Amino acid sequence: MTDMQGKTDSRRAKIEAMLRDDPGDMFLRYSLALEMESAGESDGSLEILEALARETPAYVPAFHMAGRQLVALGRIEDARRALREGIEEARRQGNAHAAGEMGELLMSLGTTP
């Protein structure tokens, strides 16, 4: 195990321990999704991000990260959908910055064929 892998494992274990005490913490769940992505667990990571996007209120960063992961997996149409939904939600929540970042990523994907 490399030192970097050990730090990642340790960080993930800490996040999972905190989630046992507070399973509804959106930021901890988001952090776990990022750790899972780093470990190559894209399906599990996306599952968490999609759940966060369905929360009330939705966790806006989850849309952006899901879009980025979907792009990396070559799932461009799914990424576009996630980003469009995220932009709408960010605007509803008054988060122009997040809407702008997701808009930039969406534009970088080009138009739908």
Q: Where does the pLDDT of residue 1 fall: very low under 50, low under 70, confident under 90, or very high at 90 and above?
A: very low
Residue 53: give the domain boundaries. Answer: 3-108
High-pLDDT (> 90) share of the chain, %? 88
Residue 94, in any domain of the structure? yes
Quote the pTM value: 0.87
- Check whether 112 has a pLDDT greater than 80: no
Q: What is the mean pLDDT of the chain?
A: 92
At 113 the pLDDT is 45
C-alpha separations of 18 from 14, 44, 54, 83, 100 in Å: 6, 18, 22, 29, 32
Q: Which two tokens stand for residue 30?
A: 């988001």
Domain count, the chain: 1
Q: Tens of pLDDT along 53-82?
A: 999 999 999 999 999 999 999 999 999 999
CATH value at residue 50: 1.25.40.10
The verdict on whether omega for the bond into residue 57 sits within 30 degrees of 0, i.e. cis, is: yes
Q: Which two tokens stand for residue 34?
A: 């990022």
C-alpha separations of 34 from 11, 46, 110 in Å: 11, 9, 26
- Give the largest Cα separation in the chain, rounded: 46
Residue 35, in any domain of the structure? yes
Residue 113, in any domain of the structure? no
